[in-house]
Amino acid sequence: MTQPPQARDEPQPQPPETPQPGGAGRAPGAVYWLEHAWLDNHVEPGVAVEVADGRISEIRTGVETPPPGATALRGLTLPGLANTHSHAFHRALRSTAQVGSGTFWTWRDVMYRIAGRLTPDTYHALARAVYAEMALAGITAVGEFHYLHHAPDGTPYDNPNAMGEALIAAAGEAGIRITLLDTAYLASGITERRGGAPPDRHQIRFSDGSATAWAERASALKGADHARIGAAIHSVRAVPAEQLATVAEWAGQRQAPLHVHLSEQTAENDACLSVHGCTPTRLLADHGVLGARTTGIHNTHLTDDDIALLGSTRTGTCMCPTTERDLADGIGPAARLQHAGSPLSLGSDSHAVIDLFEEARALELNERLRSRSRGHWTAAALVNAATANGHEALGWPEAGRIEQGALADLVTVALDSVRTAGPLPRLGAETAVFAASAADVRHTVVGGRHVVRDGAHALVPDVPRALAESIAALRG
């Protein structure tokens, strides 16, 4: 039986070595005792997990009490969550973008104003706070869809990758892993002319001028113990058709993840049909973009043929339900995509909220609203979308599972909060997905290091203040 909070833990040993700024790096040997653990799609009570060099070296079940020297994680421990799609700077729009009415396109105007104020230093401060918020929400890896490359007037910084490197450093200092999805963004829209419509004054800092120049700059980016480099095509409206293959080939040569915003808006589909005579999905397929390392973000307004094409190529789908409903984008055909063969993952995108339990819950509940029937995904399937599938989409296939040899990335959800108290522990996955929130995350462990302990961040001690100050610095 779960003990009440005031008596839940016996005296604890010192935690594993506290992560130092600069990396979500690997901890020395440690032992964690999981009161309840999500193993092989079921809840297992009393599990001891031994960690060596950042990976799970041994798992022992049937361990009723914490072994000597072990750190007890009370509640339900899941694999670390993967936030497959993030624009860190959008966090500064929370609540501000909720004033008044409008569409995706009017929201975009507000977003551009924030984007125009960021520098490497202010972006680092904001991203560090945002990634710390993610760690508090149980997220151990993030896919950062990054296109703020240059100064606001389009001039490259002395270090052309200063903005991307700021994001990598911010993730390390917040204690989480990052896949920096360096994004090609070259045009403002689809036109008959070669090269598309030129970037407007808001977008000029996003553009490298050509896919070849983008590839040259992106090739200079370097990963780290906590960071990997991937690629992204912003959308078919932002990368002209004749340059799509260059980005796809760059990713293919490196076996790197490749992400793309796909059919988020019907206007994008209409323009593509008008100019190219096909849907965005078909255009991407014709230029070698689709495949098992590729993830389409949103995949909202698709034809039957689009769905079949994405499924047959094993192209992934990242749904971001809180953003898709916040921007009135629509409900994507997630169930049909999965049935066709497209693996599902989840992202918080614009960070209207940062809560992957809410994203997982919304995936199912959106489908219920559309179909007027229940039970499209089991809780286990939704946990898998938030963990293993997300890590796979981000190029971290060794994460997302609690098993020997996997990265020791864990998140513990309280089973004794006002939201989660009552159900039997064996229903822990159902409780996490359909009742819990990010506020119920008690512990986050990354590479064996205890980044969040009892709801407190070890590296960013006052995350709300860090968020408030970094956002205030961007106000005009």
Catalogue the active-site residues: 298, 349
**Of all helices (H) and strands (E), which one includes residue 1?**
none
Q: Measure Cα distances from 362 to 88, 323, 350, 367 in Å.
A: 21, 11, 15, 8
Half-sphere exposure of 291 (CA within 13 A, CB side): 14
Query: Mind listing the pLDDT tens digit for each residue in 433-464?
Result: 999 999 999 999 999 999 999 999 999 999 99
Query: Exposed, middle or buried, 212 (CB in 10 Å: 0-12/13-18/19+)?
Result: exposed
Report residue 237: phi and psi, to 5°: -80, -20
Query: Mind listing the pLDDT tens digit for each residue in 239-296?
Result: 999 999 999 999 999 999 999 999 999 999 999 999 999 999 999 999 999 999 999 9
The pTM of this model reads 0.93
Query: Mind listing the pLDDT tens digit for each residue in 29-53?
Result: 899 999 999 999 999 999 999 999 9
Structure tokens at 331: 């409900």
Give the β-pairing of 410-413 and 344-346: unpaired
Query: Mind listing the pLDDT tens digit for each residue in 355-375?
Result: 999 999 999 999 999 999 999
Tokens 């209409």 belong to which residue? 270
| The three-state (H, E, C) secondary structure of 363-401, written as one string | HHHHHHHHHCCCCCCCHHHHHHHHCHHHHHHCCCCCCCC
Structure tokens at 452: 């969040």
**Sheet strands side by side (includes 410-413):** 55-60, 42-52, 30-39, 71-79, 410-413, 441-446, 449-453, 456-457
- pLDDT value of position 425: 96
- pLDDT value of position 14: 35
Report residue 330: phi and psi, to 5°: 125, 175
Contacts of 274 (CB under 8 A, 6+ apart): 190
CA-based torsion, 369, 372, 377, 379: positive or negative: positive
